[in-house]
Amino acid sequence: MKFKRQRSQEVGVDLTPLIDVVFLLLIFFMVSTTFTRESHLNIELPEANGERSEQQAELIDVVINSDGQYRLNDRELVNNRRETLERAVTELAGGDTSLPFIITADARTPHEFVVRAMDVAGSLGFSRLSITTERQGEPQ
């Protein structure tokens, strides 16, 4: 009896599922990765001997009365315009925006004047902004 020999099939590995898995992993890592662009400057700062001027304040205290008039560190401003307040704060701070900026307003002060003081503080770069309040139950 003569049997026909079966032809042997080529044994191979199907790479399609492997490529699919690698592609999915690549997409996952691309989506979940955050890219930040950092830049560093190497600079040498100049040296100086000196102290802060006596004019420069330790804090910026803006007091607003019920009529909307501003007082800046116990100095009354000429008017309640934004430009006047901004100029006075710039002069008092001397460029130091790390000073605490404290706003004290009367309870009956129109909202506009408080927001104006906060806007001036933000536009000049002050980040330590505080608004003084009274605790409930404290005598006036």
Give residue-wise pLDDT tens across range 1-52. Answer: 677 777 777 777 888 899 999 999 999 988 888 776 665 545 454 555 555 4
Classify domain 60-131 at the CATH topology level: Nucleotidyltransferase; domain 5 (3.30.420)
Segment (H or E) for 64: strand 60-64
The pLDDT of 81-92, averaged and rounded, is 88
At residue 79's C-alpha, the angle toward residues 78 and 81, to 5°, is 135
Rounded CA separation 96/112 (Å): 26
Look at residues 96, 31, 107 and name the one whose alpha carbon lies nearest to residue 60.
96
Angle at 95 between CA 91 and CA 101, to 5 degrees: 80
| Across 124-139, average pLDDT | 74
SS3 101: strand
> Tens digit of pLDDT for each residue in 51-80?
544 444 588 888 888 888 888 888 888 888
